[in-house]
Amino acid sequence: MRKLHQGGMFVLALALAAPSFMAARSAVAKTAAATSDDSAAAGMSKEDQDKLKEHNKLRTEIKKVKYPAAKATIVSHVKGLKADDKKWFDQTLPDKTYT
């Protein structure tokens, strides 16, 4: 009788917890969908999409640098930027060693 009672309590607890698990799972799915680049870019203008693409390209190039690195190393390692963007990057990046 005691095992039957424990089994019933387990089934009841599982039945009450199942909706919580499903809600958490759908919330994770919604968050993942909201953070994807495609959904973020869908509501942006063409100009903003181009800026985002350039920004992500710059981030990718910066991640390839081996740290600690001086400013000159980082600036010389960044490739694929327009000349005026690279000049802006060189002027706005503070002169220090990055870790």
Statement: residue 28 has pLDDT above 90: no
In the predicted model, is pLDDT for residue 48 greater than 90? yes
What distance in Å separates the CA atoms of residue 48 and residue 41, rounded to the nearest whole number?
8
Higher pLDDT pick, 84 / 37: 84
- Report how far apart the first and last C-alpha atoms of the chain are (Å, whole number): 65
pLDDT beyond 60 at 40: no
Residues 6+ away with beta carbon under 8 Å from 58:
78, 81, 89
pTM, 2 dp: 0.47
pLDDT at 41: 58
Distance CA 95, CA 14 (A): 59
